[in-house]
Structure 1
Amino acid sequence: MRFSSLAFTALCGIRLVASAALSKHENSFELVDGPFFTFHYKTDRPSEKNWIGIYSIYGEGPGKEEPLYWDWMRESEETKRVDDKHLNWGAYKAYFLVDDDYKVLAGPIDIFLSGKGPISFNVKEFTTKNAREGENFEARVSGLLHHAPDPDTKYSKESSGSDWISVSEDGVISGIPSESGSFTVTVKATASDKSTATVDVTVPVVASGKPLVTELKVMSLNLWYGGTQVSDYNRKQISAIANSNADIIGLQESTHGHATQLADALGWYSWQGKDSSIISRYPIAEKYGAVTEISGAVRIALDGDDSQVIIHNCHPYAYPYGPYDPCFDNKGADAIMDTEERGSRIRQINAIMDTMADALDNADNVPVFLTGDFNAPSHLDWTDETKSSHCGIGQFDWPTSKVPVDAGLIDAYRELHPDPATDPANTWSPVYLINDDYDGRKEPMDRLDFVYYKGNLTTQKSEVYMVGDPKPEPDHYYNEWPTDHKGVLITFKIGA
């Protein structure tokens, strides 16, 4: 995409490049000099519910997806500052929208939020989605670049072992593979200030007539307020995801458009929810959206109509938190269940199962996943053999795990690691080891993050995923691992 040559230098030192737009209603809307994203607008249709929405240039825009950020624009004329602290460098679109709806009063304005340079790639190596011999292939890798000073960075093919791969100036790899195998191309980025960076991109190619995807990696990952609790979080998230080689990820705490931004950076596809979101290496064929108050779902086309999966992703409410009853208040099993019944999680997990019922009935044809940070442990972990690890409580039927299993879903981690005494696989928490709200006592450690599945799949590998050795809070800010949960990563073989 080309941007206008009109440049503004914001007071905060961020360079913006934008082109103003005027709607058919003659409502003016423009970017002006000022801190953050500062807009001036004028309308003859003022409303308490007029608003501005900031969207990714790679997304579908108003009415098709949630904005990355938004704010009210209630006056007939006003200069309005929109805080961009949740946005990473790159290209965006701003819209002036009417009366709490997605109808456009003015815009879009194309905006580029510049990096501080010098340019670099977020990863040294990157693997794309699979290609197939003899078929057109395309993958965008420009989002992997870090700190471009403006939108004029150009991409080129520096070296490759295969002639079929080409790299466009805007950072898209494309071509028609002539044979199967694994092919690597070195992509070079050259910024307007002449600084350069390279990344090695591998394209796996399957043989003609073969299924495009036979192995699928699914992850659940809580981003921890979008990742904002650590430094340079976007780079760290991209690196962690790319190095995991996950194909589909259920994200929690992905507010302020962080799922969309991650998918844009990876050249992936996304459904952005208010908290729970989903990103995928392969195209999203249908977005079911927010199917309950704490979950969303999509259908993903791994190989067009020939191979698809459905994923639901959730984030039940955290409080009241059950493990605190025995560990901090010396309460027994009956009191814990009373806490669960008084809270929201039982209602929420039952609502999720209701929305999944038809998909579960059809799981032999279209496999189904349920990922999430459930904010509660599993009945498969709290057993008589592990009572010493759970403040004296033995077998306990946590509803948030019992209900999915009773509905026919399989806990993919426990399927391969059935003994919680020897392999607790705690995902909460590598950062919160001490609870200051309870006089500095030790935080109960538990497995709160899950990947469940049903369908024609074989679990090949299950692991708890984390990068490095994070320091506990309050010394967490410079951790390489950008969250307070560990992820759970499952490798499936598609088909029996």
Structure 2
Amino acid sequence: MRIEKIVLLLGWLFFSIVTEVPTTECSCDIPKPNSFRAMTFNMWKNGDKVDNGLSKVIHQIMDVNPDIASLQEITSLSNLDKMIDELKNKTGVHWEGKAAHAGYPNVGILTKHKILKVVAEKSEGKGYYIAADIAVNQNLTVSFWAHWNDYKYMGPVEVYKKTIVDNSTMMKNEKNRLSIIKGLVDDRQFQEALKTVDKIPILVCGDFNTASDLDWVYENRYLHYNTVMPWPTTKYLTDTVNMTDSYRKVHPNVTTHPGITWSTVERWNTEIQAAEPQDRIDFIFYKSPRLIPIRSETWPYPNASLSVCHKHCVCGETCGAVKNNMYPSDHFLVYTDFQWQ
């Protein structure tokens, strides 16, 4: 009984300590020669769920200091413009950005470099993306695809509910997300980008709202209701398009580095009346013989404490616990440092 109490106490401490997220900058901010940083950040309605949210979103971007970022849940074009202006004022560095459309939910690109042209965008249906060619410097241009996929019927939740019990039921549940990522890959501009990938790297970054086939494996099945599952959306990019999951490339050990991005604050699922499944659903994929991922992390770091939403609490609505969080999102963001040759 004593051991059980200790385990419960440690779990409570891990998820429940209420302090501010450290505001120090990334320890890896010193740029390496021939390198750039890509980031994906679901901003949770532009930070609207916390006090002074937009300012806190900007603070996180400054801390991580990406060269290029995929942003999800942009609430309006004016908010994106405010972010860009504020970043310029605070950093003294040139920033620019583009969003897929004017409404919410929206996905966009933010960068310190020159957007040469927007090559594709989709803003209808359940999935969104915008793509642009970006000149990182005179020797490197990247084809950058910012993506947000459908959030309904989250796979890990459906596994818990036993709606998904095998590959057949999984494919039925995941067909919409798979269709959306296939639509991105089938986009004429993506197919054109594949023809020049030896010179111009392709990155697909965003909130996929699905678990990874690389994570739900035998070695860590105990984290996933004793289930192994080849989630098709990520598998399509790795197997069919031959893209690489940068985080899993840098951290191949799924047990020591689960890379959880969902969720910073959600701890209780009212639908299933059980603990919210915690998983890795935000990704930075790349395809290029020129790129080598040298670092990939979630942010804020796992030891950063946040106020969270527990049982009988609807996060950010009836529950005010998260309002004072310094970190403004319900997703951990992800960044990857690439060295190019």
TM-score (norm 1): 0.55
Q: Hey, what does 2:255 align to over in structure 1?
A: 421
Contact kept? 2:97, 2:108, Cα under 8 Å? yes
The structure-2 alpha-carbon separation of the partners of 1:259 and 1:408, relative to structure 1 and needing over 3 Å to count, comes to farther
Deviation at 1:464, TM superposition (A): 0.8
2:268 aligns to what?
434
Change (3 A) 1:214 1:289: same
Task: Tell me how far 1:325 sits from its aligned partner.
Answer: 1.7
CA distance 1:442–1:285, change in 2 (3 Å)? same
Point out the structure with the larger strand share.
1
Corresponding residue for 1:307? 140
Q: Is the 8 A contact 2:155 2:164 kept in 1?
A: no
Q: Is the 8 A contact 1:238 1:266 kept in 2?
A: yes
Please name the residue that 1:260 is paired with: 81
Structure 1 residue 335: deviation in Å? 2.1
Partner amino acid for 2:305?
Answer: D
Other-structure match for 1:408: 242
Query: Structure 1: 5+ residue runs without aligned partners?
Result: 1-122, 127-181, 183-203, 207-212
1:317 aligns with 2:150: yes
CA distance in 1, matches of 2:195, 2:285: 15
TM-superposition CA deviations, 1:347-400 (whole Å, max 9, x none): 101011112222123111111110010000100000011211111211x22111
Call closer, same or farther: CA 1:366–1:292 in 2, change over 3 Å: farther
Letter in 1 for 2:112: R
CA distance in 2 between counterparts of 1:329 and 1:287 reads: 42
* Displacement after TM superposition at 1:446 (Å): 0.7
Offset, 1:336: 2.4
* 8 Å CA contact retained: 1:248, 1:281: yes
1:81-230 equivalence runs, <5 A: 214-230=34-50
Matched, 1:386 2:232: no
TM superposition outliers: structure 1 runs of 4+ over 3 Å: 123-126
Structure 2 residue identity aligned to 1:486: F
1:489 partner letter: Y
Residue of structure 1 equivalent to 2:182: 350
Q: Which amino acid aligns with 1:260?
A: D
Task: Work out whether residues 100 and 122 of structure 2, in 8 Å CA contact, stay in contact via their aligned partners in 1.
Answer: no
Q: CA deviation at 1:246?
A: 1.1
Unaligned runs of 5+ in 2: 1-22, 89-94, 310-318
SS in 1 for 2:322: coil
Q: Displacement, 1:346? A: 1.1
The answer to whether the 8 Å contact 1:378/1:402 transfers is: yes
Bigger radius of gyration among the two: 1
Q: Distance in 2 between matches of 1:471 and 1:125?
A: 21
Tell whether the 8 Å contact from 2:164 to 2:173 is kept in structure 1 after alignment. no
Mapped to 1, the partners of 2:75 and 2:238 lie a distance apart of 29
C-alpha distance in 2 between matches for 1:264 and 1:405: 37
**SS of corresponding position for 1:250:** strand
Check conservation: 1:458, 1:493, Cα contact below 8 A: yes
Aligned-pair CA distance for 1:292:
6.3
Aligned residue for 2:137, secondary structure, equals coil
- Give 1:231-380 correspondences, 5 Å limit: 231-257=51-77, 258-267=79-88, 268-274=95-101, 275-291=106-122, 293=124, 294-304=128-138, 306-329=139-162, 331-333=164-166, 334-341=168-175, 344-355=176-187, 356-380=190-214
Q: How far apart in 1 are the matches of 2:323 and 2:123?
A: 33
Name the structure where helix makes up a greater proportion of residues. Answer: 2
SS at match of 1:302: strand
State the shift of 1:303 in Å. 2.1
Give the SS at the match of 1:482.
coil
Structure 1 stretch 311-320 or stretch 295-304: which is displaced more?
295-304
Q: Deviations over 1:194-220 (max 9, x none)?
A: xxxxxxxxxx9x9xxxxxx71100001
Give the residue type in structure 2 aligned to 1:269. Answer: E
3-state DSSP of counterpart to 2:200: coil
Match 2:325 to one of 476, 479, 485: 479
Quote the Cα distance in structure 1 between the aligned partners of 2:225 and 2:180: 26
Is 2:46–2:57's contact at 8 Å kept on the other side of the alignment?
no
Q: How many residues align?
A: 285
Q: Determine the structure 1 residue equivalent to 2:306.
A: 470
Distance across 2 between alignment mates of 1:361 and 1:331: 37
Task: Report the CA distance between 1:289 and its aligned residue.
Answer: 4.3
What SS does the corresponding residue of 2:271 show, helix, strand or coil? Answer: helix
- Distance in 2 between residues matched to 1:493 and 1:350, nearest whole Å: 28
Q: Give the whole-Å Cα distance in 1 for the aligned partners of 2:199 and 2:38.
A: 18
* Partner Cα distance (1:352, 1:458) in 2: 24
Structure-1 separation of matches of 2:24 and 2:256: 36
Q: Residues 227 and 482 of structure 1 are in contact (CA less than 8 Å); yes or no, is this contact kept in structure 2?
A: yes
What is the deviation of 1:308? 1.0
**Percent identity of equivalent pairs:** 29
Match of 2:277 in 1: 444
Matched, 1:458 2:292: yes
Structure of greater relative contact order (alpha carbons < 8 Å, 6+ residues apart):
2
